[in-house]
């Protein structure tokens, strides 16, 4: 068994059902595609809401949802990002990351090796794609808290609003993890669009 890590989601995976498509397989509500699931198809038994320094923003075009994709700029100053951390194995984290990068989970995934060895300087660029930059955002219970994002920052790209289905999935995740009502959620998302 691979060691545990905390996978920190700031986007649609804040919704437990959405994350379930990456771990158990299936098609999330409102999404245009299905996923095969992780090599070890079990859901995390522990999760916690966390606040990250840095900025959430939407850019590019989602092939799963249409509209802008959520990204996280860890280096942005003067903002914060609501997130949800799930405790899972490094193997499961690599499988979620692979599917986010439009690859199939597979033994020997280089992301798993990188995660197990630790991110040099807290960051690793696996490639130029949407979610191919791994960032360690802290530690909890002695375990690394990891997320993935794009190599570009908030100011480097043109922004694009998320689709209604994608925004609804983020809203579900914010409600589940923080208990936010519709007004709190709408204010948070509109401020970052």
Give which of 120, 129, 33, 138 is closest to 81, Cα–Cα: 138
Cα 103 to Cα 94, 129, 132, 149: the distances in Å are 11, 12, 11, 16
pLDDT at 128 over 80: no
Query: Which domains, from first to last, does the chain contain?
Result: 4-192 (3.10.490.10)
pLDDT-derived band of residue 188, with 50, 70 and 90 as boundaries? Answer: very high
- pLDDT score for 154: 92
Residue 27: both structure tokens together: 């098609």
Question: What are the start-end ranges of the H helices in 102-181?
Answer: 110-117, 164-178
In 3D, which of 129, 146, 159 has the Cα closest to residue 56?
A: 159
| pLDDT score of 81 | 97
- Tokens 């809203």 identify what position? 171
Q: pLDDT tens-digit profile of 46-82?
A: 999 999 999 999 999 898 888 999 999 999 998 999 9
Mean pLDDT of 85-96: 96
The span from the CA of 175 to the CA of 171, in Å, is 6
pLDDT at 139 exceeding the cut of 80: yes
Amino acid 134: pLDDT: 92
Q: Which DSSP category does 162 fall into?
A: B
| Residue that wins the pLDDT comparison between 170 and 121 | 170
Per-residue pLDDT of 23-56, as tens digits, reads 999 999 888 899 999 999 999 999 999 999 999 9
Question: Which pLDDT value is given to residue 152?
Answer: 86
Q: Report the 10 Å Cβ neighbour count for 10.
A: 24
Is the pLDDT higher at 117 or at 107? Answer: 107
Predicted pLDDT at 118: 82
Average pLDDT value over all residues in the chain: 92
């Amino acid at each position: 068994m691979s060691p545990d890590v905390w996978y920190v989601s700031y986007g649609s995976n804040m919704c437990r059902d959405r994350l379930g498509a990456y771990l158990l397989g299936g098609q999330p509500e409102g999404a245009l595609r299905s996923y095969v699931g992780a090599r070890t198809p079990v859901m995390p038994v522990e999760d916690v809401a966390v606040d990250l320094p840095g900025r959430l923003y939407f850019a590019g075009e989602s092939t799963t949802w249409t509209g802008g994709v959520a990204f996280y700029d860890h280096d942005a100053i003067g903002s914060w990002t609501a997130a949800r951390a799930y405790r899972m194995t490094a193997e499961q984290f690599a499988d979620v990351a692979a599917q986010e990068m439009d690859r199939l989970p597979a033994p020997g995934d280089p992301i798993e090796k990188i995660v197990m060895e630790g991110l040099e300087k807290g960051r690793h660029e696996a490639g130029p794609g949407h979610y191919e930059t791994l960032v360690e955002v802290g530690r909890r219970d002695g375990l690394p808290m990891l997320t993935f994002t794009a190599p570009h920052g908030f100011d480097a790209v043109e922004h694009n609003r998320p689709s209604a289905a994608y925004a609804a999935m983020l809203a579900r995740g914010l409600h589940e993890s923080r208990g936010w009502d519709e007004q709190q959620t709408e204010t948070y998302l509109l401020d970052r669009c």
